[in-house]
Amino acid sequence: MRILHTSDWHIGRTFHGSSTMDALAEVLGALTAQVRENAVDVVVLAGDVFDSATPAGPAYTLLSETLVALSDTGARVVVTSGNHDSAARLGFQARLLRDGIHVLTDPLAVGEPVTIDDEHGPVRFFGIPYLEPALVRQHWTDVELRTQSQTLAHAMDLVRAGMAAHPGRSIAIAHCFAAGVDATVGLEREVRQGGLDVVPLAVFDGPDYVALGHIHGRQQVSERVRYSGAPLHYSFGEQNKPRGSWLVDLDAEGLADVRWLELPVPRRLVTLTGPLDEILSAENVSAHSADWVCAVYTDALAQTEPMRRLRESYPFCAMVQHRPDSAEEPTERSYVERLRGAVTDTERIAAFLEHVRAGHGPSERESELIREVLDDRVRADALI
Domain match, 251 and 206 both: yes
By residue range, what is the domain housing residue 199?
A: 2-262
Domain match, 284 and 376 both: no
Domain match, 227 and 200 both: yes
Would you give the DSSP letter of residue 326?
Answer: T
For residue 330, is it within any domain?
A: no
Domain match, 60 and 170 both: yes
For residue 327, is it within any domain?
A: no
Task: Report the number of distinct structural domains present in the chain.
Answer: 3
Q: How far apart are CA 268 and CA 15, in angstroms?
A: 13
Domain match, 236 and 276 both: no
Domain match, 311 and 187 both: no
Among 243, 262, 281, give the residue marking a domain's end: 262
For residue 249, is it within any domain?
A: yes
Would you give the DSSP letter of residue 50?
Answer: B
With contact defined as beta carbons under 8 Å apart, do 205 and 158 qualify? no
| Alpha-helical regions (H) of the chain | 21-37, 57-72, 87-91, 133-136, 148-165, 276-279, 282-288, 306-313, 335-341, 345-356, 364-383
CATH code, 168: 3.60.21.10
Q: Rg of the chain's alpha carbons, rounded to an integer?
A: 23
Q: How far apart are CA 295 and CA 27, in angstroms?
A: 26
Domain match, 153 and 256 both: yes
For residue 344, is it within any domain?
A: yes
What is this structure's pTM? 0.82
For residue 55, is it within any domain?
A: yes
Domain match, 290 and 141 both: no
For residue 186, is it within any domain?
A: yes
The CA–CA distances, whole Å, from 326 to 271, 301, 302, 320, 323 equal 20, 10, 13, 18, 9
Per-residue pLDDT of the chain (384 residues; tens, 9 = 90+): 999 999 999 999 999 999 999 999 999 999 999 999 999 999 999 999 999 988 999 999 999 999 999 999 999 999 999 888 887 777 766 555 678 999 999 999 999 999 999 999 999 999 999 998 888 989 998 888 888 889 999 999 999 999 999 999 999 999 998 877 766 655 544 444 433 468 899 999 999 999 999 999 999 999 999 999 999 999 998 999 999 999 999 999 999 999 999 999 999 999 999 999 999 999 999 999 999 999 999 998 889 999 999 999 999 999 999 998 865 454 456 777 777 777 788 888 888 888 877 677 888 888 888 888 887 777 666 665
How many other C-beta atoms are found inside a 10 Å radius of the C-beta of residue 106?
15
